[in-house]
Amino acid sequence: MTEPGQGQDPERTGSGAARLKNWWRPEGMWRRGIILAVLAVLVGLLMLLHGRVPNTVGNLGSLLETFLPWAGIAIPLLLILALLRRSATALIALLLPVVAWVSLFGGQLTGKSGSGGDLTVATHNVDADNPDPAGTAKDIAAAGADVVALEELTAEALPAYKKGLAAAYPYSAVKGTVGIWSKRPLSDAAPVNIKMGWTRALRATVTAADGQKVAVYVAHLPSVRVKVAAGFTANQRDESAAALGRAISHDPAGKVVLLGDLNGTMNDRSLAPVTSQMRSAQGAAGDGFGFTWPAGFPMARIDQIMVRGLEPVSAWSLPATGSDHLPVAASVKL
> What pTM did the predictor assign?
0.89
3-state class of 183 per DSSP?
A: coil
- Its domain, for residue 221, covers 119-333
The answer to whether the beta carbons of residues 9 and 18 sit under 8 Å apart is no
pLDDT tens string, the chain, 334 residues long: the values are 445 545 555 444 456 665 555 545 555 667 789 999 999 999 999 999 999 999 998 999 999 999 999 999 999 999 999 999 999 999 999 999 999 999 999 998 888 888 889 999 999 999 999 999 999 999 999 999 999 999 999 999 999 999 999 999 999 999 999 999 999 999 999 999 999 999 999 999 999 999 999 999 999 999 999 987 788 999 999 999 999 999 999 999 999 999 999 999 999 999 999 999 999 999 999 999 999 999 999 999 999 999 999 999 999 999 999 999 999 999 999 9
The structural domain count of the chain equals: 2
* Residue at which a domain ends, from 88, 109, 130: 109
Q: Which of 82, 109, 136 is a domain's end point?
A: 109
Single out the residue of 295, 299, 302, 306 nearest to residue 330, CA to CA. Answer: 306
User: Is residue 161 one of the residues assigned to a domain?
Assistant: yes
* pLDDT the model gives residue 19: 55
Residues 104 and 176 in one domain: no
Q: Do 225 and 296 belong together in one domain?
A: yes
pLDDT for the residue 30: 72
Q: Is 91 part of any domain?
A: yes
244/242 Cα distance (integer angstroms): 5
> Residue 307 is part of a domain; what is its CATH number?
3.60.10.10
**Length in residues, the chain:** 334
Last residue of a domain, one of 48, 75, 109: 109
In this prediction, residue 110 carries a pLDDT of 84
The reported pLDDT for the residue numbered 16 is: 61
Same domain, residue pair 308 and 243: yes
Cα–Cα distance for residue pair 55/198, rounded to 1 Å: 27
Residue 235 amino acid letter: N
